[in-house]
Chain A
Amino acid sequence: MVPYEYYVALSGLLMVLGLIGIAVRRNIIALLLSTELMLNAVNIAFVAFDMKLADVSGQVFVFFILTIAAAEAAVGLGLIMAIYRLRKDVDTETLTELKN
């Protein structure tokens, strides 16, 4: 048996990598990819704590997270398509109408 701490540390590492990706990247699609990484980190933590606590409720919540991730990808990519059609650009540095 692998101690559950290893899985929790892996989950924290993936979460931080996703966070760095959101801070660093400039392509909007890459931001959505980093969001998927963070959602997966949460999934790992849920299943690891399930293993520790001898329960299966966390896996049910992972199922819900998968559902929400699919909805998020559909709506987010639809928004990106709409933005691209309007502006011909997906760079976060130039899409700054809401600033100021």
Chain B
Amino acid sequence: MELTAFWIFSSLAVLSAVGVVFFRNIIYAVLSLISTLIMISGLFFAMGAELIGALQIIIYAVAIVVFYVLVISTVPEFKGKAFEPKFILISLPVGFLIFLELAFVSLYGAWKSNTGIFTPEVISEVSNVKAVSTVLFTKYLFPFEVASLILLVAMIGAIIIGKKEHVIDEEAKS
């Protein structure tokens, strides 16, 4: 059952990721990105990470993709060539080599890390959401607060960068 889910979700995710990279029209690329994100969220659900799967849909597939669609709607259609033709020939074999290296290091590297206490029995007793949020709000409380600060800084920065340079202040003139 889980194996079937894995093959379906992963093949669709890889197919959509190829679409993100190789669609000429940027709107199609964004739609493929939504498909990839939803398939990856399905993979998270299949792995038993329910909280992350739900957050993936809410934050990525809704919030971030809406950013992209808004910006694409303001930037008109891209006219130049979509690809750098000389880089395709170089990047495909190099990418394949990097993939082999990543796979080798990940599978045959020394993953002698300590195992945690959240074995499947514990996870089935307390739910996944409770386990993740317990660790998030005890051990990683300070990084959590820093993450909120980063979001605030990014919001202010995006507003300041994105606003128009010369706004004529009518009230200040009169």
> Would you call B74 an interface residue if the criterion is a C-beta within 8 Å of the partner chain's C-beta atoms?
yes
- In the assembled complex, the Cα of A36 lies from the Cα of B172 at a distance in Å of 43
Residues of A within 8 A of B153 (CB): 71
Asked if B151 and A64 sit within 8 Å, CB to CB, the answer is: no
Which residues of B pack against A, CB within 8 Å? 2-3, 6, 10, 13-14, 17-18, 20-21, 26, 29-30, 33, 36-37, 40, 43-44, 46-49, 51-52, 55-56, 59-60, 63-64, 67-68, 70-72, 74-75, 78-84, 87-88, 90-92, 95-96, 98-99, 102-103, 106-107, 111, 113-120, 128, 131-132, 135-136, 139-140, 143, 147, 150-151, 153-155, 157-159, 161-162, 164-165
Across the interface, A63 reaches (CB within 8 A) one of B52, B114, B120, B158, namely: B52
Shortest A77–chain B CB gap in Å is: 5
Asked if B33 and A74 sit within 8 Å, CB to CB, the answer is: no
Residues of A within 8 A of B2 (CB): 1-2
Across the interface, B113 reaches (CB within 8 A) one of A25, A30, A53, namely: A53
Q: Which of B17, B30, B80 has the most CB of A within 10 A?
A: B17
Across the interface, A62 reaches (CB within 8 A) one of B52, B63, B103, B165, namely: B52
Residues of A within 8 A of B96 (CB): 16
- Given A23-B91, A33-B20, A40-B37, verify A5-B107 contact (CB < 8 Å): yes
Give the interface size bracket for A toward B: 35 or more
Q: Which of B14, B95, B159 has the most CB of A within 10 A?
A: B95
A-B contact pairs, 30 of them (CB 8 A): A7-B6, A13-B17, A14-B13, A15-B102, A18-B17, A18-B21, A21-B21, A24-B88, A25-B21, A30-B26, A37-B36, A43-B52, A43-B56, A50-B49, A54-B116, A54-B117, A55-B117, A56-B116, A56-B132, A63-B52, A66-B59, A70-B59, A74-B67, A74-B158, A75-B157, A75-B161, A81-B161, A90-B75, A90-B78, A93-B80
Shortest A89–chain B CB gap in Å is: 9
- In the assembled complex, the Cα of A52 lies from the Cα of B64 at a distance in Å of 30
Given A7-B43, A56-B116, A77-B162, 19 further pairs, Cβ under 8 A: A7-B6, A15-B99, A15-B102, A16-B99, A20-B95, A33-B30, A34-B20, A36-B60, A56-B131, A59-B128, A60-B132, A63-B136, A70-B154, A71-B151, A71-B154, A78-B161, A81-B162, A90-B78, A94-B80
Across the interface, A27 reaches (CB within 8 A) one of B49, B63, B82, B155, namely: B82
Asked if B20 and A21 sit within 8 Å, CB to CB, the answer is: yes
Per the 8 Å Cβ criterion, residues 58-100 of A in contact with B are: 59-60, 62-64, 66-75, 77-82, 84-85, 90-91, 93-94
